A and B are shown apart, each in its own frame.
Chain A
Amino acid sequence: MRHILAILLENEAGALSRIVGLFSQRAFNIESLTVAPTDDNSLSRITISTIGDDKVLEQIVKQVNKLVDVIKISELIDRKHVERELLLVKVAAVNDKARTEVKRVTDIFRGSIIDIGKQVYTIELTGNSDKLNAFIEVLSNETEIIESARSGCVGMARGDKSLRI
């Protein structure tokens, strides 16, 4: 089962490595991980997407919480939440047909072409992970994918709930 964990921790040197080290040390899985400082510069927020059953999830949450730098951790999948991931993808756009199809598919998915090279388009798309997967699949039927980069997902609980100190 997939889980998304939002972690609020001290924005200190080495804090990220403690989280990553913990996952590797205890053989927990990381599907994706994103990290950045929050509006409060003394805090970082990490979002980890992971796979595991309830028992594994319980251990992950407890073990992460036990790290001295960690202030709060919240699991998002079990509650109403929004999640988004950013995709940048560079595709071959060598002839009119390819360019037209790429533009059409991008529009359908509500992405944008943000850069054009001599024979390539670079596209930006945000959405949940499923949407990004679907877009890549459709796109790969139309043209050659040259390069892709995904941010890993970030998420938040819906409504009034918030993760802050």
Chain B
Amino acid sequence: MLKVSGLQTAYGRSQVLFDVELTIGEGEVVTLLGRNGMGKTTTVKSIMGLLKPLAGEILFCGQNVRGATPESVARRGVGLVPEGRQVFPTLTVRENLVATAANRLGRSDAWTLERVYELFPRLSERVDQSAATLSGGEQQMLVLGRALMTNPKLLILDEATEGLAPVIRREIWGCIEALKGEGQSILLIDKNLSVLKRLADRHYIVEKGRTVWSGDSAALDRDSELVHGYIGL
């Protein structure tokens, strides 16, 4: 589904990514691990077209999307849940979900408001409230719901549980697990290694802008010393 190889990206003159490799198959849940500042979010931004990579290849469903605009990447079926709570604050919960909803790939089991409310009952209690009045966790659920309403082939969650209360975190993890059960392909970026190990099929570790390790959860356990060296846990 997604194949990234030899990815190089820079902010102005300072190069951040040197050689990032990453592959996600149909229905797979894959994580991107690494300490802060190692290039995880930069990788996501490069995939989304929010940053223009210098070199490398980004294939999405067999098509090269390197250098494409964010809207065209999103239209091909990549849904992003970015860092921070990026709702549209003055719109209501319902408006946030409906305004940008789309089913561009013509999925038969398309997401509906009802299904999103079922997934996040908290949102259904606040349908006509403006998004600015939601708690941090609810806002993050709303952003996730908004992404689902575009019926993405690949969902990217960039630190979606950062700074949330443990209860809310568990709720979001539960949803991701449910999505995985439905065969949704997901790229996860998070710090909660124990959950990720349980949830994800495979893992990639980036260190100073290079993919330095990859393997499944069993391999992650086996190489735990090496992994801890990279992630610093």
Genuine A/B complex: no
Chain B positions near chain A (C-beta within 8 angstroms): none
